[in-house]
Structure 1
Amino acid sequence: MKSTTVKPTVGRKSGPARGVRLIAGLGAMVAWGALLAAPAQAEAVPGETAATVSVPLRQAVADLPVADEDRTGYSRSAFRHWVDEDGDGCNTRAEVLVEEAVTPPDVGDGCRISGGEWDSYYDGQRVGNASGLDIDHVVPLAEAWDSGASEWRAERRMRYANDLGDARALVAVTARQNRSKADKDPAEWLPALSDAHCRYVTEWTAVKLRWGLTVDTREREALTSLAAGCPDETLTVEQAP
């Protein structure tokens, strides 16, 4: 069968995907307070609309709840991935690769990807082969576990590990950068490209807020210092379902 260039039907939301929107208002701030007050392990009620909140980046960092981290009982297998949630034959890894390609790849039988080009924003490298890319969880699975996901049900952890609802959650980067990062937080690791730091801090903060995750003291200090040197643009986050 001849391979064709395709676009997955699920994809990720493009609105807040690549940074910020300049949105303000009292109503948004009230919603933000309600979001932060919710426990990290809270599950959405079926039929409810997810809350969307907007707040300046530095305030968002300041509002992150602080708690000690605990990795007791962690196993990567507690976060099932990569899944084909929509049943179109392409798993989460493939969905991200197709969406983030700067030169669209060919996608053949069994969602086999060939050709295409990608820009790894962590190090500014152009990559011409999907096998040279990892799909990074911006907030690593182990870090999520430490920060509240240990209290979640398995189904919610699976949704976290395959989050296509916000393009800041998963990113295609060079394998070297992903493996250098491992499970480190921004107090321990930042992208090799210094120009990428503000984007990275924004995306890290957005993911923590989206999923109601906490930060530890050193992580908060690092985020605060980094955000101080970034544009204080408004961060828009939709609470995870």
Structure 2
Amino acid sequence: MNVSRIAVAGGLALSSVALLSGPAFAHVSVQPQGEAAKGGYATVNVKVPNERDNASTVKVEVNFPADHPLASVMPQPVPGWKAVVTKSALAKPLELHGKKITQAVTKVTWTSDGAKIGAGQFQQFPLSLGQLPEDTDQLVLKAVQTYDNNEVVRWIEEPKEGAAEPQNPAPVLKLSAATGDHHGGGAAADDKAGHDDKAAHAEAADSTDTPARVLGVVGILVGVAGVAFGVLAGRRRSA
């Protein structure tokens, strides 16, 4: 009897763990690859997990807010996926680098071109965004996920501060305070990395060059000593 009770309890515990650790808690999200500062540029990843055990994701659509338009949204090529950028006319043109922008990106759609996101997998879709708005702390990027069994999941519910997470929360990109560098942290970081790399190479060259010089001097001294020894030996034989 006790064995049966233990078996039932164990089964319930395993079921609870499976439910808690299942894919229901995974959702489409957006993650910065660097600093997403107001007024700057950023590279972000749209992370799309597959939540179904019997279907694969074949299409992902990310929508950009009309009240905070972005003049530039560039997708990085992802093998096996075709990206299409959709633009719409702006009611109020934007000024960007001295130019008047009359259109903004409203949507990016990735469609399977041979690849799929299978069960227990996720895919990241990199985007370069800019110029980021300065009058908001976040961008809500509503997403739509389509499976190969024609099921559509809409990640469009905006999370509210202090409230429970909605069932299908929309991806949210948090924006930090402006840094003054409107070209974003990525370029500066790359530039710094380049300088650091050059310095490291120079230091490595110096550290390699020093032993070489020492060995060269030692070789010269050994050579001179050999010549002197040969001369002395010759004199002794002559004597």
- The TM-score, its normalising length taken from structure 1, stands at 0.19
Higher relative contact order (CA 8 A, sep 6+): 1
- The structure number with the bigger radius of gyration is 2
Instruction: Specify which structure has the higher proportion of helix.
Output: 1
- The TM-score, its normalising length taken from structure 2, stands at 0.19
